[in-house]
Amino acid sequence: MGLFSKKPMHLLLEEAGDSGKGLKRTLSAGALVALGVGAIIGAGLFVRTAAAAAQNAGPSVTIGFIIAAIGCALAGLCYAELSSSIPISGSAYTYTYATMGELMAWVIGWDLVLEYAVGAATVGIAWSEYLNKLLVEVLHVAPIPYEWCHSPFQSHPDGTVNGIMNLPALFIVGILSLLLIKGTSESAFVNGVIVITKVAIVILIIVLGWGFIHEANHHPYIPPATTYVDHAGISHSFGGFWGVVGAAGTVFFAFIGFDAVSTAAQETKNPKTAMPIGILGSLAVCTILYILFAHVLTGIAPVEFFRTKGGEASVVAAISEYMTGYGWLAKLVTVAILAGFSSVILVMLLGQSRVFYSMSKDGLLPKMFSDLHPKFKTPYKANLVILVIVGLFAAFIPGDVVGDMTSIGTLFAFMLVCIAVIILRKTDPDLPRQFKTPWVPLIPVLGVLACGLMILGLGWTNWLRLFGWLALGFIIYFGYSAKHSVLGKTGKGVHPTDPPKPEILD
């Protein structure tokens, strides 16, 4: 078997039907929508909106959200077809293995680490920052000492103290990892409570903030094309076409998460119908909220405010300064941000463990990653290893190291998913498809182009980081995975030590 050997489709469908020996099917379509909304609404909405307005597009950040949503919708239609046709854990990794072969599957599996594991660590670090805001501004108690909520590579602005480790970030990653080990349905319940809380607060901001919009802040809606240099000396295209495209690439981070729904396909009661509803439903809900939220936020405060006073806490600062009498709402937003970050971390950890589970079943990672807990039926060893990796990153590495790598890694995955739909229509035209992407190959091609345009907007430095990350992945693949591949050794897509699977009639 070669590097481009594909995992046979009938074996994938066997794994999907063999629910008695694998992951427990507990999730409904409603739970999947909540899972998707839980992953999507978080750091992107509360942080990246203001950043895109300040650096790229001003009030036309709403157009950036529309472009990003179109790209996600095109990819989402492709995800919906693949996840309803191949209801197996692993998301884009599994789809790529079935259509483009093992080497490309490894590339996308390694690439997804950028989205899930690195993304979870980054959001964990942000969670730590907002925990201190909660302690000081809402509870009115002393914050956690600087050295215990920052990495060793960070020092206080006045130079008096250095960080030691970020204990709150490590804490939240640990708690949510243990929750995932306990069970996916329990995790989904907790996530559902969080989703209701933060969506309610987002709607409150939209409704109450609408009356504080100043039309002058929305003129001109698309600023003339210029260059903005931020405090770190980095230049950004501001205004005009490329400013809006740059905003789309920046706020794309706000949509990351809806694809994580597809990683739970093997734990869904009726994946053929629930998967499309979960993916497209969560995307539709969040897109509407995002556009309205961005319109209100950029109408309340001018662009210069987001560049100077706002920072990461721009939403809270804008409410405090421009919405007189609504200080209580600013406090609720702080709570919503903490809740939002928590649910994002939860779904990212879920997605990463399920990708590792699938890669382990195929022999590309050690078999321990696919060992299931005898009682909870969750990949508990994978969760524990991910807890260590993500926890170490969150505790000891500054959050700004990652930059836009999470976005570019996810966009690359989306492009491969769109291509996979075209290939699978040719190689397996008779495969039962409960949901079919309309207008193939037009929709997948447009999805590739839209995601590619957003990658261009992120700049060449992020391309270099992506290539460096992939180079490290190739070292691991040729050093371990290629030698232990189940498909390469046996020509079958199941691990030799697994119990025999029942035959599926054609």
Question: Which one, of 187, 352, 192, lies nearest residue 257 by Cα?
Answer: 352
Q: Which tokens hold the place of 154?
A: 């960070």
Q: Which residue has the higher pLDDT, 35 or 64?
A: 64
Alpha carbon distance 265, 95 (integer Å)? 12
* pLDDT, tens only, 314-373: 888 899 899 999 988 988 888 878 877 887 888 789 888 888 988 998 999 999 999 988
Please tell me what DSSP assigns to residue 141. -
Is the alpha carbon torsion for 72, 78, 82, 87 positive or negative? positive
Alpha carbon distance 16, 379 (integer Å)? 16
In sequence order, which residues have a C-beta less than 8 Å from that of residue 157 and are 6 or more positions away? none
176 neighbors 345 (Cβ within 8 angstroms): yes
* pLDDT, tens only, 313-326: 688 889 989 999 99
The rounded percent of the chain whose pLDDT value lies above 90 is 34
**DSSP notation for 351-366:** HHHHHHHHHHHTTSS-
Alpha carbon distance 345, 343 (integer Å)? 5
End-to-end CA distance of the chain: 24
Which range is most confident: 16-20, 149-153, 454-458?
149-153
* pLDDT, tens only, 194-218: 778 878 888 999 999 999 999 999 9
Q: Can you give the pTM of this predicted structure?
A: 0.77
Alpha carbon distance 40, 36 (integer Å)? 6
